[in-house]
């Protein structure tokens, strides 16, 4: 998602003080952290499937770039961002290889997967909404695209690997992403400065998701009757 730095506000850049430059570096780091977190979550699923190193890299990059790629395609921002930013690719590959060589050290890979996935989701929800706003989307569309960015990579990861998508599990997930994106967009329109809005949205999304993981928060499911199988005539 680093193209924000390339395309954003060229005029403002000239009168930017060193304080703002430091903030910009912090935001760039958040970008990188989001990619690393989602890439690591993809690599953890690959480790559950006992893939080889190339499979780790494939699933890690699909997870890390999938949501942002969907967002860019829907907005018509092509070529998509990761074709222009080799450093992001390096981060995803690095995260994949780190998991490949170190995943056996952790007690419960599924537990770690839940948490790094939560971090990536929170980061992408606000960063995705921001990029959509900068691309000229309406506020409600920016919220939607934030949710797409936050959930797209994880859905692709789980569908390709044949896992039950995390977002379809009982705990609150999309709701957390939507809350973070709504908070970011609302605060930007307030208008608050970008950094305050980003941090608020990020903390809200991560906080809700963390509570859902720890306390098992969930929304009431539809329970009237369990599904019957499709009459099997395959």
Counting contacts by CB under 8 A, is residue 86 touching a copy of itself?
yes
Tell me: does residue 52 bind a copy of itself (CB under 8 A).
yes
Within 10 angstroms of residue 234's Cβ, the number of other Cβ atoms is: 4
Residue 133 has phi, psi (to 5 degrees) of -60, -45
Does 104 bind a copy of itself (CB under 8 A)? Our answer is yes
Residue 169, φ and ψ in degrees, nearest 5: -75, 170
- Confirm or reject binding of residue 112 to a copy of itself (CB under 8 A): no
- Burial (CB < 10 A; 0-12, 13-18, 19+), residue 134, is middle
Distance CA 204, CA 176 (A): 8
Q: Which stretch binds a copy of itself (CB under 8 A): 16-24, 34-42, 46-54, 197-205?
A: 46-54
> Using the rule CB under 8 A, which residue among 76, 191, 214, 215 binds a copy of itself?
76
Cα separation, 89 vs 110, in Å, equals: 24
10 counts as binding a copy of itself under rule CB under 8 A: no
**Nearest alpha-carbon partner for 146 in 129, 131, 130:** 129
CB-nearer residue toward a copy of itself: 38 or 56: 56
- Residue of 30, 31, 38, 47 interacting with a copy of itself (CB under 8 A): 47
Query: How far is Cα 15 from Cα 116, in angstroms, rounded to an integer?
Result: 36
Residue from 184, 200, 113 nearest 145 by CA: 184
Q: Is residue 175 a contact residue for a copy of itself (CB under 8 A)?
A: yes
For residues 89 and 192, which CB has a smaller minimum distance to a copy of itself in the complex?
89
Binding site residues, a copy of itself, CB under 8 A? 46-56, 58, 69, 73-76, 78-80, 83-84, 86, 89, 100, 103-104, 109-110, 137-138, 140-141, 144-145, 151, 155, 159-165, 167-170, 172, 174-175, 178, 218-228, 230-234
């Amino acid at each position: 998602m680093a193209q924000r730095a390339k395309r954003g506000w060229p005029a403002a850049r000239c009168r930017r003080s060193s304080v703002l430059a430091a903030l910009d570096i912090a935001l760039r780091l958040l970008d990188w952290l989001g990619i690393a977190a989602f890439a690591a979550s993809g690599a953890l699923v690959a480790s559950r499937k006992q893939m080889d190193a190339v499979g780790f890299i494939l699933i890690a990059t699909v997870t890390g770039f999938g949501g942002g790629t969907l967002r860019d395609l829907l907005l018509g921002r092509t070529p998509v961002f990761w074709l222009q930013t080799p450093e992001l690719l390096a981060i995803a590959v690095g995260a994949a290889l780190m998991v490949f060589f170190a995943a056996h050290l952790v007690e419960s890979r599924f537990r770690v997967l839940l948490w790094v996935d939560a971090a990536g989701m929170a980061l992408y929800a606000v960063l995705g909404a921001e990029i959509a706003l900068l691309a000229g989307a309406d506020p409600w569309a920016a919220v939607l695209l934030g949710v797409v960015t936050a959930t797209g990579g994880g859905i692709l990861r789980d569908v390709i690997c044949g896992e039950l998508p995390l977002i379809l599990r009982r705990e609150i997930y999309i709701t957390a992403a939507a809350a973070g994106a709504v908070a970011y967009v609302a605060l930007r329109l307030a208008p608050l400065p970008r950094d305050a809005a980003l941090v608020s949205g990020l903390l809200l999304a991560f906080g809700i998701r963390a509570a859902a993981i720890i306390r098992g928060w969930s929304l009431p499911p539809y329970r009237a009757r369990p599904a019957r199988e499709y009459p099997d005539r395959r």
